[in-house]
Amino acid sequence: MTGKTLAEKLLSAKAGEDVRAGDYIEAQVDVAMAHDITGPLAFQTFEEVTGGEGDLFAPGRTILTIDHHAPADGVQAANNHNAIREFAAEHGAHQYDVGDGICHQVLIEEGHVAPGDLVIGADSHSTTYGGIGAFGTGVGSSDLGTALATGELWFRVPETLRFVVEGDLPEGVYAKDLILRFIGDVGFAGCTYMAAEYVGSTVESLPVHQRLVLTNMAIEMGGKTGLVPADDRVARFLEAETGQAVELPAPEDRRSDDDAEFASVHEYRAEELAPQVSKPSNPENAVDVGEVAGTDVDQLFVGTCTNGRYEDISLVASVLEGETLASGTRMVVVPASGSVYRKLLATGEMATLVDAGAVVQAAGCGPCAGYHQGVLGDGDVCLATANRNFPGREGSMESSVYLASPATVAVSALYGEITDPREYDGLPRFDDHALAEVEA
């Protein structure tokens, strides 16, 4: 028998038996999440399954957020928000409200997810939790509703597609560039129903907030989950964020065995990578930034569960310090959480952004899925730190969205056109802010 992949190990632990890729299993769920769009439908299923009188499998591990249309942008959204609040109050679920931020960011910051957990979320970017070594995956509202009652869900154990990156990332190249390149190479459906596992010295050296970028976008190549092996850095990061001690799974349970079987292995040298931009209208359209440099941009969008963290926005503020946006452009900044928002206020970086001409909005999803707070019109071109650029994603079917790192978006804002971030001298390197604060 060959060794096991990390995905097989994580799911074996939750199935209570030795499982392998291709097996169908019933697994114990640790954390379940739904938000203001998917929650109300999940509640209906929950009521049907329980006959209207059942309890949540684990109220403290059922997390409900209000983030997609927050603050409410219409009556329907407002009613959905009330449905979230009422369900949470009635059943004792853990609930976050307007301004608290995007589900995936909040669950990690607030310590709801630990390495080794099985997390299901009624949102496709629930793959994000693999950045701290949990098995996170998106499920539909009805699966979520059923699991809220039973605490269990069936899975097909996924094969693993492995990305190995060795070496030091050059200046101007970040995790976002890595993941856009990966998606470009394997294609939009290249990882369908598989686990995307990211390893190698480059990945090991990434701060946790950057690892989350890799796992967040696993779904953009069809991934069932995205995984970065948890290490001490994850434990220290979570302790710094939450103030609570974190126990990591045993070392052999945190990584794939050397003789595990992978569906395929893709190897990269970090030094060879250039900043990437995904052209409209698919994340798989990744090219070196040079190929699209000079493209005029109307709107710059900094935010989302991919790149709306403190470190991302702080980098943008450092580039915009004492500058103004190029004329004819507008910038929308949406912090991923209330805690990110408050950090930016406390450091003065919020003022830097506003002085440069950016509009900073309440924490949440913002215009990411085209609902509000910066929707695009016909012909508009947006350069975004987001994860999706499908036709009409941020508004009009006649608009276009290019995806890039916060550094590329920030430097492009100075010129009003897509610009190679390496043209800017002294781009900051990323570090874990919370960790740096604690360990300073």
CA distance 375 to 37: 18
Site for ligand IPM in 163-192 (CB under 6 A): none
User: Quick one: how far is CA 284 from the chain centroid?
Assistant: 17
The reply, when asked if residue 365 is annotated as ligand binding, is: yes
Task: Identify which of 17, 255, 275 has the alpha carbon closest to the alpha carbon of residue 130.
Answer: 255
Q: Six-digit token pair at 54?
A: 């059942």
Q: Give me the amino acid identity at 336.
A: A
Cα–Cα distance, 379 to 425 (Å, whole number): 32
What CA–CA distances, in Å, run from 187 to 73, 220, 392?
35, 9, 20
Q: Is 10 buried (19+), middle (13-18) or exposed (0-12) by CB count in 10 A?
A: buried
| Ramachandran assignment for 323, one of left (phi > 0), alpha (psi -120 to 50 degrees), beta (any other) | beta
Q: Which of residues 282-321 bind ligand SF4 (CB under 6 A)?
A: 304-305
Supply the minimum distance, in Å, between the C-beta of residue 134 and ligand SF4.
Answer: 17
**Which of the 8 DSSP states describes residue 165?**
E
Closest approach, Cβ 42 to ligand IPM, in A, equals 11
Contact between 387 and ligand SF4 by CB under 6 A: the answer reads yes
Q: What does 66 interact with, of ligand SF4, ligand IPM, none (CB < 5 to 8 A by kind)? A: none
Choices 81-89, 230-238, 254-262, 363-371; region in contact with ligand SF4 by CB under 6 A = 363-371
CB of 271 to ligand SF4, least distance (A): 30
Q: Is 103 annotated as a binding residue?
A: no
Position 401, amino acid: V
Is residue 117 near ligand SF4 by the rule CB under 6 A?
no
Residues in 113-142 that interact with ligand IPM by CB under 6 A = 123-125, 138
Of 32, 66, 248, 369, the one binding ligand IPM by CB under 6 A: 369
Smallest distance, ligand IPM to C-beta of residue 122, A: 7
Omega before residue 339 within 30° of 0, cis: no
Contact partner at residue 384 from ligand SF4, ligand IPM, none, CB < 5 to 8 Å by partner kind: none
> Burial level of 188, CB count in 10 A (0-12/13-18/19+)?
middle
Sign of CA dihedral 189, 129, 201, 162: negative
Q: From 13-21, 57-65, 177-185, 365-373, give the range in contact with ligand SF4 by CB under 6 A.
A: 365-373
Q: Does 102 participate in binding ligand SF4 (rule CB under 6 A)? A: yes
The Cα 204–Cα 11 span in angstroms is 23
Binding span for ligand SF4 by CB under 6 A among 155-163, 276-284, 316-324, 364-372: 364-372
Q: How many residues does the chain have?
A: 440
As a whole number of angstroms, the distance between CA 241 and CA 64 comes to: 20
Look at residue 102 and give the partner it binds from ligand IPM, ligand SF4, none, a contact being a CB closer than 5 to 8 Å depending on partner kind: ligand SF4
Closest CB 402 distance from ligand IPM, rounded Å:
17
When binding is defined by CB under 6 A, the residue of 297, 369, 382, 384 that contacts ligand SF4 is 369
Q: How far apart are CA 393 and CA 287, in angstroms?
A: 20
Per the structure block, which two tokens stand in for 320? 């915009």
Q: Within 13 Å of residue 49, how many CA atoms lie on the same side as its CB?
A: 20
Show contacts with ligand SF4 in window 213-252 (CB under 6 A).
Answer: none
**Residue 228 interacts with ligand IPM (CB under 6 A)?**
no
Interface with ligand IPM in residues 34-93 (CB under 6 A)? 37-38, 68
CB atoms within 10 A of CB 422: 18
Percent of the chain that is helix, strand, coil (3-state, to 5): 40, 20, 40
Q: Taking a C-beta distance cutoff of 8 angstroms, is the pair 108, 132 a contact?
A: yes
The residue count for binding ligand SF4 (CB under 6 A) is 10
When asked if residue 363 is in the footprint of ligand SF4 (CB under 6 A), the reply is: no
Nearest Cα neighbor of 30 from 142, 113, 154, 141 is 113
Q: Which is nearer to ligand SF4, 38 or 62 (CB)?
A: 38
Place of tokens 């001298």: 425
Q: How far is the CB of 248 from ligand IPM (least distance, A)?
A: 29
Instruction: Select from ligand IPM, ligand SF4, none the partner in contact with residue 37, using the beta carbon and a kind-dependent cut-off of 5 to 8 Å.
Output: ligand IPM
Q: Which residues bind ligand SF4 (CB under 6 A)?
A: 68, 102, 123, 125, 304-305, 365, 368-369, 387
Q: Which residues bind ligand IPM (CB under 6 A)?
A: 37-38, 68, 123-125, 138, 369
Binding residues for [4Fe-4S] cluster: 305, 365, 368
Binding residues: 305, 365, 368
